[in-house]
Chains A and B, each alone.
Chain A
Amino acid sequence: MTTEHIVGASVPRKEGGDKVTGRAQYIDDLTMPGMLYGATVRSRIPRGKIKKISFGTGISWDEFVIVSAKDIPGKNCIALILDDQPCLADGVVNHPEEPILLLAHPNPHILPKAVEAVAIEYEPLPALFTIEDSERQETIIWGADNTFKRYLVEKGDVDSIWQKAGFIVEAEYHTGAQEQLYIENNGVIASYDPNSGLTLWGSLQCPYYVHKALIKLCALPEDKVRVVQTETGGAFGGKEEYPSMIGGHAALLAMKAGRAVKIVYDRMEDMVATTKRHPSRTRHRTAVSSDGKILGGEIEFVVDGGAYSTLSSVVLSRGTIHAAGPYYWPNIRIRAKAVATNAPPHGAFRGFGAPQSLFAMERHMDRIAATVGLSPIEIRKRNFLKTGQTTATDQTINEPINLEKLLDRALELSDYHARKAHFRNENQSRTCKKGIGIATFLHGSGFTGSGERYLASVVGVEGLANGRVRVLVSSTEFGQGTKTVLCQIAAETLGLPYEQVEIAQADTDDVPNSGPTVASRTVMVVGKLVQSAASGVAQTLIAAGILRKEFSPKEFRDACSKYIAQHGQLKSLAQYEAPPNVYWDDEKYRGEAYAAYSWAVYIAEVSVDLAIYSVVVDDFVALQEVGKVLHPVLARGQITGGVAQGIGYTLYEKVVWQNGRMQNGQMTNYIMPTSADLPPIRVYFEELGNVHGAFGAKGIGELPMDGPAPAIVNAIADALGTPFDSIPLLPEDIFQTMESCSQSPEAPLTQGVR
């Protein structure tokens, strides 16, 4: 096969027909006979002891199935990494909305009244709500020191560089929480039968994560738990770990009730009770030579993990490794920690730590440029990683990436220089100030370090008697095109028409564990395994002597039919093997952090209307190198969608907190962009290939989340001549900064020349 016909083409989305006709079945579209509905009674305080639970009058409590921590057959935890998060609070609560009791009833309409009628008396305990409160360690709310995890990355000799610096640039950056806001709320249906076991259907990303959690919670053997993903209406990480919680709840109710139980959240419950992006604080202190080269520096990266550890150690990991950006640091020390606060645990959200630390890095580069007296372009060009150089974790960049050229291309596409000159001119006389900003960044594909080896993903490809091919993966579709792309890969590998390949529903009874659908690994890692397994099917037939090496689809079909008649089944499995000479040290946090990186340059043009202090993004160029574009329409859709979420993260989406609880848990008050708010997002790709990925592909799902915030805030700073170092950046914040600037124009935000 020399020319690719299917991979690289925008073939029809596998499940697209169902989606445009309303036939696609999401969890709330499904019912089961005799099904009950479940609801959750949740904590109203951020931290305290539960003293008394009373069931109020006006409710026929005997009609309800009620589950508390005491009903848990197995271990009262949501198994993930540290197992510190209870499934149901047992005597103690550590965040608002923490689940305490579960109720089920045949009539969903009386559940809200029943939930209201449960009265809980607490003895409140002191609670912590900010990173600063937590790290002061005056009150300890988790472990010995409120710290879920720490990392230390060291390279070279940081302590020796300060004396040689021409400039020392120091600043602090903040990012806020962000709600994933998938349009389909979390929902599951659980059904239990003592003979066949527990089945859970739901809107989820990782069936095997839920499987692992249910085994432990329900004390059931592996083969008595089945998890099935239903059509999922958006996820973005918000359904990576959370479904284990809502799934656990439905499972407990179903086991006690002996009937199926559906739990579907409404929008407010989903927003206030489930995970959000980790808020962060990054401190940079950088030694720069007088001609603008980074000599080294210290980065402190901190994320707020909420009340339980959940995935914070992994979010911290990715944020830490990305904190140095796409630059060469001869010396660096990165100290990172994830701390506990009394908020609902924060969790996975597209980008997973990298948007936070890259925001800081890219804002800092512009600050360094201003301090040194170089342009944002020049400062980056002088410090970009080049092929053969090592990253902060001592990973040698082996691929032929040329970031200077990539930046030049983006500058041309955005007409940067002409626009910038034009704005400088126009801004003098207008209330509406315009600016243009750059972000250059990278995103590692797949699990960090030894993660993929640990996952040991398995993929199956099956040949059916009628010559159709079925892909068997636990990787899920939630809009990003998993089904389509993995079928393309299998079809291309076997030389079969795309229509001849299908993909099994992600059902743990039917598919092997190809790992979670996260970390931008699906096309690269799982896709490569699909390639292997598909080849394996052909190899099996060829080895059996019933198929020649160059075969037509018809010959393939006949061979399948013959093989299955003889052997009953034709299935090939492929398991992940770590590439040789790829080394990662978990102790020292050094080595090959990721098998591949995608690289990008984003350029944003903004207008700031100083009458109302609001920002409009007028133009956005998103240029990225992604190995190979397997499906142009899907790839473009990932970038435009990710950039839109990034614009939301920067300018619109603010979680209003009060005592650890989100106050604006409605779509009226938590603002995401509408079609009337977004600029044309111009998407361009480069393809350098990737030996570790299917057909040369790298991950692209999360990359677009990293660039918009710093590009936009750099543009705003350019427009107004004032730095901004915190997102979300709402008009009220810009107003406040402009007011303080006009009152005290000398407020120092940067330490300049030493």
Chain B
Amino acid sequence: MSDPRGPREISLTVNGQGKTLRAYPMERLLDVLRQHLKLTGSKEGCGEGECGACAVIVDGALVNSCLVPVLQVQNSTIVTIEGMAQSSRLSPLQKSFLDCGGAQCGICTPGMILAAHHLLSRVPRPSPEEIREALAGNLCRCTGYAQICEGVANAANREVLG
């Protein structure tokens, strides 16, 4: 076994790209993304897994990256907000957020979009209740959620209609 102290080599796939970096095993995935990989789209709002501003998708599952030690995502596939748009084209979800007023100050928006994306990838036509439940782990202080939920429903319709 290698020396348990000191940084380790961590290999990840982030937004479709292979990355190798050195990090201490207990560095939070959030900090690794923001500081090592300069992917600052994921935010720290609370550091306790309550606000969802740090949410990313690991191996297909939405997680709060402030609660994940980076060693546990060795060889995992990660999607962050930076991976949501195809080059300069916004995803239907991102477009819907803009059209419906889902982003005000924007700080919750990356986590919120990933949570919505996570929902729509499992439930293409969610009910209003399903949308509210899916987003209940992402706190927004600006919008009161109405226009966010509408943005998600709107995106669902767009996706289905193509």
Contact = CB atoms under 8 A, between A and B. Distances in A.
Assess A/B contact in the complex (Cβ within 8 A).
yes
A529 B149 CA distance: 36
Chief secondary structure at chain A's binding surface:
loop
Interface in A537-572: none
B109 interface: yes
B100 A633 contact: yes
B105 A182 contact: yes
A21 B85 contact: yes
A235 B106 CA distance: 12
Interface in A622-668: 633-634, 636-637, 640-645, 666-668
Interface stretch (A24-32, A151-159, A355-363): A24-32
B142 interface: yes
Given A21-B82, A266-B47, A479 B41 contact: no
Contact of B46 (A13, A19, A637, A666): A666
A644 B141 CA distance: 8
Interface in B46-90: 46-48, 50-51, 53, 80-82, 84-85, 90
A706 to B, nearest CB: 15
B27 to A, nearest CB: 10
A163 interface: no
Interface residues of B, number: 53
A81 B153 CA distance: 48
Contact of B146 (A20, A640, A645): A640
B144 interface: yes
B43 to A, nearest CB: 7
Contact of B105 (A21, A183, A633, A681): A183
B141 A236 contact: yes
A451 interface: no
Contacts of B145: 640, 644, 674-675, 678
A479 B142 contact: yes
Interface in A154-191: 180-185
Given A20-B113, A22-B110, A183-B105, A675 B148 contact: yes
Nearest to B147: A637
Given A183-B108, A633-B101, A641 B46 contact: no
A676 interface: yes
Given A636-B147, A675-B135, A676-B136, A16 B103 contact: yes
Contact of B106 (A233, A641, A674): A233
A637 B106 contact: no
A5 B135 CA distance: 35
Contacts, number: 168
Interface in B120-139: 131-133, 135-139
B117 to A, nearest CB: 12
A16 B113 CA distance: 13
A183 B138 CA distance: 10
Contacts of B144: 637, 640-645, 678, 681
A428 B105 CA distance: 45
B142 A13 contact: no
Given A267-B48, A637-B104, A672 B139 contact: yes
A389 interface: no
Contacts of B137: 674
A591 B162 CA distance: 60
Nearest to A634: B101
B104 A479 contact: yes
A478 interface: yes
Contact of A183 (B40, B53, B132): B53
A642 B140 CA distance: 12
Given A20-B97, A20-B98, A680 B48 contact: no
Given A181-B141, A182-B141, A636-B101, A19 B106 contact: yes
B149 A21 contact: no
A681 B147 CA distance: 11
11 contacts: A20-B102, A20-B103, A182-B141, A236-B141, A633-B147, A641-B142, A644-B144, A667-B46, A667-B50, A675-B131, A676-B132
Interface of B: 34, 39-48, 50-51, 53, 80-82, 84-85, 90, 94, 97-98, 100-110, 113, 131-133, 135-149
Q: Which 5 A-B pairs have the closest CB atoms?
A: A22-B41, A233-B107, A479-B105, A19-B106, A644-B144
